[in-house]
Structure 1
Amino acid sequence: MKTSLTDEEFYAGLLQLPKPTYPFTNFIHPDFEKLRQEYYNWIDTEYIIHSKEAREKHKKHHLCDIAARGCPFLHAIDELLPLANYTANGAMMDDYFDKCSHEKMHSVMNSAYALLTGDDPNEPKENGILHLFWVLRQDALKVEFPKHLYKRFISSVRDTIKGFAEEKIYYRTNSIPPLAVYLLNREGTSGVLPYCDYAAMQKDYRQLPDEIFDHLYIKRYRTLCCLIIAIHNDIISLPKELHREGDTLNLVKVLKQEYGISIHEAYMKALELHNDYLNEFLLLQNHLPPFDGWDNMVLAYIQDLGVMISGIYAWHTHDTSRYVNGGYVEGEYTNGGG
């Protein structure tokens, strides 16, 4: 991205357009400031692969706040650490490997998953991305993380990284996918699937049996959460992605290409699609099927998925560093383009 853009050029008349709104209350975990200290330490000790400039930008982004806002009802900071680790490491990893190959991202995914499952029990000798995944597993083992929920969580983490790999195909060729391809892939790359799993660590939701999470209604809620958050992320990040080659997995860009319309028209169409998904989220709450005695807890879990959506959006609206003019971290991975 060119850093010489004026703010007027950067925002391209987008600031006055309407933004997403939610009927859900948003919260933040009371230990969010302690969590930030852990986050700064990760950047200083694990992210030495990044330049000093990149590390200082990441610190300002407070990516750990996404976890603190997305799952604000976790009991203590110990329960927040695995989610914050996934969030910060995932985002910074995606930044770092911005234009690496599809094959390289798959290799990272396989190595990370082996560490998360314990199939590779060995602590990586060097600090960095993979070491943080090893740390995530150690922190998860320290808290009462039910095996069935942990298995779901790390499977979703794997799907997220797999989505990152699929994105590289479009990033490296600076090409925009069709809408159907975007919607399919963005469910994974939103990074929200692991949050839907981790939200069950709050309150008493960890008591819910596996068949509840496998229910078609809950699966649809997972998809809706992913797409709602993906779209509001695309809306927030659009000014940056309009001026940066390779940032092609943005719904507004996709809709512009799909329908041959202007950026502002595509923006409004993206917001309309976002609102359709949000209305479906709200409608389904009033038409839930019976859940064999778990009805009240399932409804409460769904309501807290709404809190998660609102909380993550609150991070976006409170952020004044990541998606602003010159605030984004450029990919620094180089290995012959691989």
Structure 2
Amino acid sequence: MNNQLNVPKPVYPWETLQSPFAGTFYEEETNWYDEDYQFLSKEAMARYRKMRLVDVGPFMVPAATKKDRILHATRFAIYMTVTDDYAELLPIKEIAAFRDRIFEVMMGDDPKPGEIGMLRQMQTNRKEWIALGMPDFWLERIAKNYKYRFVTDGIMEESPYKISKDVPPIPLFHLIRANSIGMIPFVDLICPSTGFALPDYIYNHTVMQRIIMLQSIIVALQNDFATIGKELAIESEIFNIIKLLQHHHKISFDEACKEGMKIHDELVNEFVTLSNHLPNFSPYQKETEEFIEYIKQMISGLNNWYYKSGTKRYEPGGFAVPPNGKGETIERVEIKYF
């Protein structure tokens, strides 16, 4: 393999807003880690403090103009990331038990003394959402999306491949990865950020569900390009579109990047087309269109976070290794983005 690999950055056909809250929540982040994440190892804690996960919220919800309408998304981004990092290589039964307890807390059960502090973060998030006007049907929606879409259909489907090092077919990869990236429940956060809980009949509409799925696949592919340097150095990490395309099609790294970006861009075009041809959701057409605009900002805002926030998550020694993981075992290759 070459000492340097050239990797393209995704681009999007809409303007991305800049949040005034980027870089302003570090005191809150420090308090959260100190109070509720002490179950992690000291090394993992040190790495999380350098990741700037606290800025994921401002980058992905840049249209929010009040602190409380973005702080909840920041809290969520941190514990969602830790959930993925912590659970991805655990035995399936342990992931399932962890998942079920998370669901109970997200539905209103109080964390018990001695349970990991991250559950308190989830409890606080629920209280924030209620204070922001979210009704019971929405609280149940995000809890179910976290349990079933993120953990069950995502992490738990992905984990056996990572442990066995088997290679999934690409169509199945897209579906598993769309769930494991966590963006389906993250899209739910638009509602407390805008103060409007999208009704079930709109949220569950075929067009809206396809738009949400497209967002998740697009973000998963975007993540694959941004993290390829780290994932080339981890032997167990095969859930990356570039690596899979190389494996299945027997093509070079450069060709796989080109093909992967072609897939990404085609999905973006479909997303834009559907966004421009929404059904009639009267009397909530304006609110639905705003929901779609927030999804657009989530896509391009997260892309900016990878390259502009200063995160160390994907640099050598920056990723928190799962309890059963080995971390980077292969020498890093320099990645040059263009």
Q: Identify the TM-score tier after normalising by the shorter chain.
A: 0.7 to 0.9
Does the aligned pair in 2 maintain the 1:179–1:254 contact within 8 Å? yes
Equivalence for 1:322: 313
Equivalence for 2:180: 189
Equivalent of residue 23 in structure 1, options 9, 13, 35: 13
Aligned residue runs from structure 1 range 39-50, under 5 A: 39-50=29-40
> What is the SS of the residue equivalent to 1:327?
coil
Aligned residue runs from structure 1 range 189-338, under 5 A: 189-203=180-194, 205-206=196-197, 208-318=198-308, 319-332=310-323
Is the alpha carbon distance of 1:45 and 1:272 closer, same or farther for their aligned partners in structure 2, counting shifts above 3 Å? same
Corresponding letter in the other structure for 2:107:
T
Equivalent of residue 26 in structure 2, options 25, 36, 43: 36
Does the aligned pair in 1 maintain the 2:59–2:305 contact within 8 Å? yes
> What is the SS of the residue equivalent to 1:23?
coil
Aligned-residue offset at 1:75: 5.0
Is the alpha carbon distance of 1:127 and 1:29 closer, same or farther for their aligned partners in structure 2, counting shifts above 3 Å? farther
Corresponding letter in the other structure for 1:171:
K
CA distance in 1, matches of 2:188, 2:296: 14
Equivalence for 1:155: 144
Q: Structure 1 stretches (4+) deviating beyond 6 angstroms?
A: none
Deviations 1:193-226 (A, max 9, x none): 11221112333643x4321111111111101110
Equivalence for 1:180: 171
Does the aligned pair in 2 maintain the 1:81–1:136 contact within 8 Å? no
Corresponding letter in the other structure for 1:116:
M
Equivalence for 1:133: 122
> What is the SS of the residue equivalent to 1:202?
helix
Corresponding letter in the other structure for 1:181:
L
Does the aligned pair in 1 maintain the 2:129–2:192 contact within 8 Å? no
Is the alpha carbon distance of 1:333 and 1:115 closer, same or farther for their aligned partners in structure 2, counting shifts above 3 Å? farther
Does the aligned pair in 1 maintain the 2:69–2:193 contact within 8 Å? no
CA distance in 2, matches of 1:195, 1:204: 15
CA distance in 2, matches of 1:247, 1:128: 28
- RMSD (Å), alpha carbons: 2.2
CA distance in 1, matches of 2:11, 2:223: 13
Does the aligned pair in 1 maintain the 2:111–2:119 contact within 8 Å? no
CA distance in 2, matches of 1:126, 1:107: 13
Does the aligned pair in 1 maintain the 2:111–2:120 contact within 8 Å? no
Equivalence for 2:336: none
Count of aligned positions? 322
Equivalent of residue 62 in structure 2, options 72, 83, 92: 72
Aligned-residue offset at 1:191: 0.9
TM-score by length of 1: 0.87
Equivalence for 1:6: none
TM-score by length of 2: 0.87
Is the alpha carbon distance of 1:204 and 1:332 closer, same or farther for their aligned partners in structure 2, counting shifts above 3 Å? closer
Does the aligned pair in 1 maintain the 2:107–2:139 contact within 8 Å? no
CA distance in 2, matches of 1:331, 1:320: 19
